[in-house]
Amino acid sequence: MSETPEELHYASSHEWARLEEDGTVTVGITDHAQDALGDIVYVELPDEEQQVEAGAEAGVVESVKAASDIYAPVTGVVIAANEVLEDAPERVNEDPYGDGWFFRIQPDDPGELEDLLDAAAYDEMCSEEE
């Protein structure tokens, strides 16, 4: 059974977003997504200072099974990418909501987070997919 922390926001494309105290937004993929993908072998992250748009492609995650695009959940500027994933992509499988984060965005409008799903709605969407 996969985990869906209450305090996060979720995109229907299986990213999670967390509003940090400093107003930035951390992005990763959900436990459900990493479980469906299987062992992750390679992650392509956006560059720092790259402008990203909500719903647009911002990276790629490759598992043993397939490649999947990663979409930015909010519009803004990338201020950090998780370089650990370059050598240790398996962190995404091991700790999708912690060490396995992908990138951090300085959002233009943090209010965009409210357009995303809450944990209950995301879980419901996943169970309908199955």
| Binding positions for other proteins, rule: CB under 8 A | 38-39, 41-42, 44, 60, 62, 64-67, 90, 93
The dihedral through the CA atoms of 39, 81, 83, 44 has a sign that is: positive
How many CA atoms, within 13 angstroms, populate the side-chain half-sphere of residue 67? 7
CA–CA separation, 34 and 111 (whole Å): 27
CB nearer to other proteins: give 4 or 34. 34
CB nearer to other proteins: give 28 or 59. 59
Q: In angstroms, give the least distance from the CB of 42 to other proteins.
A: 6
Q: Is 98 helix (H, G, I), strand (E, B) or coil?
A: coil
Q: In angstroms, give the least distance from the CB of 17 to other proteins.
A: 24
CB nearer to other proteins: give 31 or 112. 31
CA nearest to 15, candidates 42, 34, 2: 34
Q: In angstroms, give the least distance from the CB of 106 to other proteins.
A: 26
CB nearer to other proteins: give 48 or 94. 94
